[in-house]
A and B are shown apart, each in its own frame.
Chain A
Amino acid sequence: MQASDRIALLSAHVREEIDHWVSKFPAGRQRSAVIGALHAVQHENGGHLTSELMEAVAAYLDIPSIQVFEVASFYSMFETRPVGRHSVSVCTNISCMLCGGEQLLAHVEKRLGIRIGESTPDGRIFLKKEEECLAACTGAPMIMVDHRYYENVTPARADEILDALE
C-alpha cells in the first residue's frame, strides 16, 4: 500500500490533532508527536488501535511503522486489539490495596463475568489489565471509567457505576 493510501485512513479531525502535536516540537522531531497522535486515533476508533491505523500514523509522521508500534506496546493506555466500549480500571496499587481495592476488583470481575484484560461478550465493558497507581490515594479505593475518577468506591457503588454504562 502506498503511504498516501494509508494516510487516507486518518480523518481530517485526527490529522488536525496530529498537526497540533507536531507543531509543539522542533522541526524534524515529529516522532515526539506519536503519543498524542495515537490518543487521537484510538479515541476515534472506539478505544483501540489497529495495525493499519498505526501504519497510517507512521506514514503521516514519516517515521518507520515499528517506532509507532514500540510506543503503542509500551504504554498501557493504548490497546492494540479490539476491546469493549467502556474502559474500566480498578486500582490495586498500595493505597487502594490497603483499603480493599483487591476485593473490589474481585467483585467487579464476578459481576461482569470476565477477568482483568478481558471485555464483556456484549462489547460493553473492557476491564483494563493491572492498572498502576492513578494518583487518587486520598479517595482509595478508586476506579476509573473512561477517564473519569470515582473515589471511595464500595462494591454497591461499583455496581451502580457499571450498570449506568450504555
Chain B
Amino acid sequence: MSQDKCTIQVNGVEVEARPGQMLIEVTDAEGAYVPRFCYHPKLSVAANCRMCLVEVENAPKPMPACATPVAPGMKVHTKSRKAIDAQRAVMEFLLINHPLDCPICDQGGECELQDLAMGFGRGVGRFSEAKRVVRDTSIGPLVSTDMTRCIHCTRCVRFTQEVGGLQELGTMGRGDRVVISTYIEQGVNHELSGNIIDLCPVGALNSKPFRFSARAWEMEQRPLIAGHDCLGSHIFAHLMGGKVKRVVPAACEEINETWASDRDRFSYEGLDAPDRLAEPLLRENGHWRAASWDEALDAAAAGLRRAGGDLAALLSPSATVEEGYLLQRLLAQMGSASIDHRLRRRDFRSQDTEIEVPWLGMPVADVERLDQVLVVGANLRKEVPLLAHRLRKAAVRGAGVAFLNPARYPMHFPVADALQGTPADFWLHLATLVRAAAQGGETPPGMAELLGKAPAPEERHRQAVARLREGGRSAILLGNIALRHPRFADIDVLAAALARLTGSTLGYITEGANAAGLALAGALPHREAGGRARARAGANAAEIIARPPAGLILFGIEPGLDCPGGAGWQRAPAGGRFVVAFSAFRGESLPALADVILPIGTFFETDGTFVNGAGQWQSFSAAARLPGEARPGWKVLRVLAERLGVPQPGQATAAAIAAEVRKLAGEVMPDALARQRPASAIAAAGEVSLQELDLPMYQVDALLRRAHALQLTADGLAGSMPEGERLTA
C-alpha cells in the first residue's frame, strides 16, 4: 500500500483514507453521518461543540471525529452504544441554556440544533434551573442577533478571521458566561458578512431584512445566477407567493464555493422599491400616464421609426445575453451599429485591437492557485468580493499579490507591494514596470513615446518584475478602475507588454454581471455577435452620451447614475429626440428624459444567460413573479422588433436565443495576448478624480441602489472610498 493511503474501519466497513485526515471527512465520504455543530469543511477545526463524539476502539473515551486524525487500522463506530450515549449527553448539555423559542425563531424548520435535538435529544429536559439570558447588541443592518440562542460553536468567529481576513467577532468571557460579540459595540462591516447567517447552526445569527417574514417550509427554492458582478455566483432565491423573501448561496466549488457576497445576498430588497414599474408609461403633453402595452409599443415603434437610421442604444452591463443580442439585432436591422454596454468607459482608442471579449483569462478557481499577481486599477474587495476572497486564499498560501492603484485599499491579507499614484497618472508605474522588465533587452516596438513618459525604475519596480518572472503561475489583472480610466488604451497596451515580458496571463475584471456575454452577443459598436469586427463601426458609449442621436433606447439603466455625463442630459425640445427606456424602476432621470418607459423584469424575474468572467455560460430561469404588467426584457424586445417591421423569427424562448448566440460565439474564449496591439496615439492628459473611477459598491446598478439594508451598511453609507479620499470628496 502506498504511503499516502491507509485503511480504517467505519462501522465494520473497510474504508480508504489518508493518514492524518480527520475522521469526520472519512465518515462523511462514507455516508456515515456524524452529528456536528462547530465543524465546517471551509473553516479550521475548533472541536469545541463535542457533538461529533464517536467510539474509536482501544481509545478510553469517545473521540471528536472532527479533530481525530486517521491512523492505519483504526476501528471507528459512529452508532455504537458508547457513541450514541456520548452524543446524547453532549446534546443535553447544549440544550441546557438554549431557549425553547423555536416557534418564534426564524431558524425553526431549518435549524441544525432543532434537527439534532430531534435525533439525539431527550423528550424531557432534566435541567430545572434558570437558563441564562444574553443581552443582544446590534452588529449592523444585515445580520440579526439573538445571542441567548448561541451555542458557542465559533463558526462565525472563525469565518471572520479565516475567510474574511478581518476578525470582527470574538468570544468574550469564559465558561458559562462566554458570549460571541463584536469589539466594544462595533458592527460587522465585511462585504462577505452575510455568510455568518448560513454558518450559524442555530438561530443566533439570522437575516435582518428577512426577519419574521416567512417560515422555511413555506418557501420554494429556485436556482439563479447572481447579477451584480462578473463572477456569476450561484444563488438560490427563496420565494413565497412569487415574491423573493431571501437569497442564499448555492454551493458551486468552482465559482463561489459555499459563499455569497452581501451584495448578491441582499440586493433582492430592491425588487419591492416604491418606484418599481408595474405598467408601461407614456408621455403625453408633458405628463406621464399609464398606458397599455399596445399603446406603449406603438408609440415606441412610431417614435423610433421617425428617427430613421439615426438610432443608438445603451444597455446595462448586467443585461442578459438574450437581451443584448436581440437589441443589437433590432438596431442593426434599423441600420445602426451604435450600441454599447461599456457605459463608464472613457477611453475607446484601442477598442479595435484589444481583446474581443474581456475576461479573467482563467477559471475563477485558478485565481487562488496563482503564484504571483499584479492587480492594476481595482478596488477589488468592493468590485468583486468573492474574487478578492480567492486572491486572499492565494496570498495566505504564500503567493505574492501586488496592487497598482490610485488609492490604498485595505486588503486583509499580506500584500507584496502596493504601488500608488494619482488618479490621473497612477498607471505610469506600469510603464516604469515595462521599462524595468525590458532592461537589457529590446523595448516593445511602438511604445517608445509611452515609455519615455515613465519615471526610471526603482528597486521596488525591479522587484515587482522579478516576482512576476519568478516562475510558477503569474497573472496581471486589470480592474474596473483601469477599464474606466481615460488612459485605458495605454494601460492595456502596457499591461500586455508587461505580461509578455514576464510570461504572465493578462485578465480583465469587468463591470456588471455580463460584460463578456454582451461582447459575445454583439452589444458593441465595433463588433457583431460572435466577436467579428463590424464592417462599419457605430458610435461608442461616450459618443452616444456626448451626442445623443434622434432615436435612443436605454435598456436597464438610469442615465443620471449609470452614465458619466448622463446626469447633464436635457430632454430635447418636442420632436427633437425620441427616447425609449426599458426599465424595472421609474427613478428620476428616466422620466426627465424618456418618451416611453417599458416595465421589464430584473434577473430575478427573467429567463436569461450570463457569461461570467471565466467565460462560463450560465443560464437561469425566471424565479420571481413580475409585478403587474411588467414583462421580461427579451420578450418586449421581440414584440417591439415586430412592431418596427423587423421580426425576429425562430426565437420563441430565451434558451433558443442563447443557443443561437453560443453557436456564433464558439466555445473558446480569446487569449488577451494572442495579437500584437499597437500603442494608441497619445491622448491628451485626462484629468479624472478617484470618485469618477471608483464607484461605491452598492451603487453599481438600479436594483442595488434600492436595496434598503445594503444602503445602511458602512459601505452603503460611505461608499467604498478610502477614508482620506472620502473627506476630500
Q: Is the CB of B173 within 8 A of A66?
A: no
Residue among B172, B174, B182, B184 making CB contact with A51, cutoff 8 Å: B184
Residues on the B chain within 8 Å of A69, using CB: 170, 172, 183-184
Chain B, Cβ-Cβ closest to A70:
B170
Residues on the B chain within 8 Å of A121, using CB: none
Residue among B174, B182, B183, B184 making CB contact with A74, cutoff 8 Å: B174
Q: Is the CB of A74 within 8 A of B166?
A: no
C-alpha spacing A73/B172, complex, angstroms: 6
Q: Is the CB of B173 within 8 A of A64?
A: no
Q: Using a CB-CB cutoff of 8 Å, which residues 65-105 of chain A contact chain B?
A: 65-67, 69-70, 73-74
Number of B residues, CB within 8 Å of A: 12
Residues on the A chain within 8 Å of B182, using CB: 66
Q: Is the CB of B173 within 8 A of A74?
A: yes
C-alpha spacing A67/B184, complex, angstroms: 12
C-alpha spacing A96/B168, complex, angstroms: 41
Chain A, Cβ-Cβ closest to B171:
A70
Q: Using a CB-CB cutoff of 8 Å, which residues 162-190 of chain B contact chain A?
A: 166-174, 182-184
Q: Is the CB of B174 within 8 A of A65?
A: no
Q: Which of A51, A67, A70, A74 is most buried by chain B, counting CB atoms within 10 A of its CB?
A: A70
Residues on the B chain within 8 Å of A73, using CB: 172-174
Residues on the B chain within 8 Å of A74, using CB: 171-174
Residues on the A chain within 8 Å of B170, using CB: 66-67, 69-70
Q: Using a CB-CB cutoff of 8 Å, which residues 1-60 of chain A contact chain B?
A: 51
C-alpha spacing A70/B170, complex, angstroms: 6
A57 CB to nearest chain B CB (Å): 13
A13 CB to nearest chain B CB (Å): 26
Q: Is the CB of B169 within 8 A of A66?
A: yes
Residues on the B chain within 8 Å of A51, using CB: 184
C-alpha spacing A70/B158, complex, angstroms: 14
C-alpha spacing A65/B166, complex, angstroms: 10
Q: Is the CB of A70 within 8 A of B172?
A: yes
Q: Is the CB of B166 within 8 A of A64?
A: yes
Q: Which of B166, B171, B173, B183 is most buried by chain A, counting CB atoms within 10 A of its CB?
A: B183
Residues on the B chain within 8 Å of A67, using CB: 167, 170
Residues on the B chain within 8 Å of A70, using CB: 170-172
A89 CB to nearest chain B CB (Å): 17
B679 CB to nearest chain A CB (Å): 42
C-alpha spacing A67/B168, complex, angstroms: 9
Residues on the A chain within 8 Å of B183, using CB: 64-66, 69
Chain A, Cβ-Cβ closest to B179:
A73
Q: Is the CB of B167 within 8 A of A64?
A: yes
B159 CB to nearest chain A CB (Å): 14
A103 CB to nearest chain B CB (Å): 26
Q: Using a CB-CB cutoff of 8 Å, which residues 232-265 of chain B contact chain A?
A: none
C-alpha spacing A70/B183, complex, angstroms: 9
Residues on the A chain within 8 Å of B172, using CB: 69-70, 73-74
B185 CB to nearest chain A CB (Å): 10
Q: Is the CB of A66 within 8 A of B174?
A: no
Residues on the A chain within 8 Å of B166, using CB: 64
C-alpha spacing A69/B174, complex, angstroms: 12
C-alpha spacing A51/B172, complex, angstroms: 14
C-alpha spacing A65/B174, complex, angstroms: 18
C-alpha spacing A74/B178, complex, angstroms: 8
A3 CB to nearest chain B CB (Å): 12
Residues on the A chain within 8 Å of B174, using CB: 73-74
Residues on the B chain within 8 Å of A64, using CB: 166-168, 183
Residues on the A chain within 8 Å of B184, using CB: 51, 65, 69
C-alpha spacing A51/B183, complex, angstroms: 10
B181 CB to nearest chain A CB (Å): 9
C-alpha spacing A67/B161, complex, angstroms: 10
C-alpha spacing A51/B174, complex, angstroms: 19
1/0 contact string of A114-152 vs chain B (CB within 8 Å)? 000000000000000000000000000000000000000
A62 CB to nearest chain B CB (Å): 12
1/0 contact string of B127-171 vs chain A (CB within 8 Å)? 000000000000000000000000000000000000000111111
Chain A, Cβ-Cβ closest to B177:
A73
Chain B, Cβ-Cβ closest to A73:
B172
Chain A, Cβ-Cβ closest to B167:
A64
C-alpha spacing A35/B162, complex, angstroms: 23
Residues on the B chain within 8 Å of A65, using CB: 183-184
C-alpha spacing A70/B167, complex, angstroms: 11
C-alpha spacing A74/B181, complex, angstroms: 13
C-alpha spacing A66/B168, complex, angstroms: 7
1/0 contact string of B658-700 vs chain A (CB within 8 Å)? 0000000000000000000000000000000000000000000
C-alpha spacing A64/B169, complex, angstroms: 10
B135 CB to nearest chain A CB (Å): 15
Q: Which of B169, B182, B184 is most buried by chain A, counting CB atoms within 10 A of its CB?
A: B184
B172 CB to nearest chain A CB (Å): 4
B246 CB to nearest chain A CB (Å): 28
C-alpha spacing A160/B167, complex, angstroms: 48
A154 CB to nearest chain B CB (Å): 32
B152 CB to nearest chain A CB (Å): 13
Chain A, Cβ-Cβ closest to B178:
A74
C-alpha spacing A73/B182, complex, angstroms: 13
A42 CB to nearest chain B CB (Å): 17
C-alpha spacing A39/B515, complex, angstroms: 56
Chain B, Cβ-Cβ closest to A65:
B183
A83 CB to nearest chain B CB (Å): 17
C-alpha spacing A85/B167, complex, angstroms: 34
C-alpha spacing A64/B172, complex, angstroms: 14
Q: Which of B166, B168, B170 is most buried by chain A, counting CB atoms within 10 A of its CB?
A: B170
Chain B, Cβ-Cβ closest to A64:
B167
C-alpha spacing A73/B177, complex, angstroms: 10
> A64-B166, A69-B184, A73-B172 known; 15 other A-B pairs, CB under 8 Å?
A51-B184, A64-B167, A64-B168, A65-B183, A66-B167, A66-B169, A66-B183, A67-B167, A69-B172, A69-B183, A70-B170, A70-B172, A73-B173, A73-B174, A74-B173
6 smallest CB-CB distances across A and B, nearest first, come from: A66-B183, A66-B170, A73-B172, A64-B167, A70-B170, A74-B174
29 CB contacts below 8 A, A to B, read: A51-B184, A64-B166, A64-B167, A64-B168, A64-B183, A65-B183, A65-B184, A66-B167, A66-B168, A66-B169, A66-B170, A66-B182, A66-B183, A67-B167, A67-B170, A69-B170, A69-B172, A69-B183, A69-B184, A70-B170, A70-B171, A70-B172, A73-B172, A73-B173, A73-B174, A74-B171, A74-B172, A74-B173, A74-B174
